[in-house]
A and B are shown apart, each in its own frame.
Chain A
Amino acid sequence: MGAFGSPAPKPESLRDAYGRTLVELGEADPTMVVLDADLSGSTRTSLFGKRFPDRFFNVGVMEPTMMTIAAGLALSGRTVFASTFAVFAAGQAYNQVRQAICYNQANVKIGATHGGLTVGPDGATHQIVEDIGLMRGLPRMTVVVPGDAPTTAAATRAIAETPGPAYLRMPRENLMTVTDGAFRLGRANELAPGSDLTIVAVGAMLAPALALSERLRESGIGARVLDFASVKPYDAPTLLRAARETGAILVLEEHTVLTGVGALVASATAESYPVPVRRVGVPDVFGESGEAWAVMERYGLGPERLAAEALDLLHVRGKIS
């Protein structure tokens, strides 16, 4: 679906959508279990815990072992969701996720909240911008980075229905609702049409991508927006069609440019249909404390920088002079 006909944009909590969907899934599947590591209020798994106290395990501050316990439950036949902040899920527990979950092909879904710079005031220790790269590098792992609450709910259902490991990355901040939640694994939805440029965006950069597309449209530039929430598997046909039809791709992500969606898009197009790809994300540095969107701006993800990158890319392509 497009941005047209969407409900009026308003910021909503992706974490709430995740927590509420866990409760729905728990109603439908009486064997499903949920784990958390002392952050259940923040990750919203507390909603599941209140509804199904017997099927909820808050194991305390032990993320690596939470992942191995989750794997054990999954290897016994259950669908398991395990939640904590992204920095602890993907960072602290990486090798447990790699071995106990992915190598075992355990049916564990990792609901990782507080991904990216928009963690804000807690600072660099909590602002992981490497997790998408870490997780998409793991064989058998599904990776989803929803850009609004409806997509989060749909993605939570989709990974529950799809056997095998999955990583769902959510931000702390509420985000504008810009889709109707028509999410499918492996499909990139086109949220705005255009043939001069493609903007590929995930997570907190989805709404800014649409705003940028609007702004460019006022100058007569058609910027197609692709919601790349399904990072792995990703939608190669839609991406390559966009490369062919628009000739240039701008990637926006709240993640290091070294290993994120920009790196994925650049390598995927380079192999099949090379076009200029501009990766706009966090440069090779740690973040810092500050109000969420002020930190985003400081690290190059504010609206002015996005517009400048888009115009520069169009210039490179000779579409503007």
Chain B
Amino acid sequence: MQLKEVLDKYPQSEDYLIEILMDYQKHKMHHDLTEDELKTIATHLNIKESKVSSVVTFYSLFSLKPKGQHVIQVCHDVPCHVNNQPDVLSTLKTMLAIDIGQTTDDKMFTLEYTSCLGACDKAPAMRIGEKTFTKLTPNKIKAIIAEYRGRKHA
């Protein structure tokens, strides 16, 4: 989706800055916002770029750096942790050859931590995009990654 289309969906007011940023970032293949795009948004809403920068850097859900097409968020809270999360995580790290916070060279995957996904009864859990995976095991991880590798950007 083009930035213009997103901007057109919202009233031209500073109150919608966060919604616009979230909406647009979701549509970007690499889940990032560039300075040029933020400048366009600032001009459109008639606010200062320093203000937009302030908001974007405040929320960790916004990124100024391109991420992988698929952002894998591994739950980092205690219930998952005591339920084998470390095994699952190390399988992910080995398969992707990256650490937390990094992106694979082919720009396919980024690995991140997240806090509780509300699936503690089916721990350990992780999320890729909007989809949550539960009761993870190293074998399940292998299957999931293989599947994502096989498909194009959704």
A binds B: no
Chain A residues in contact with chain B, CB under 8 A? Answer: none
Chain B residues in contact with chain A, CB under 8 A? Answer: none
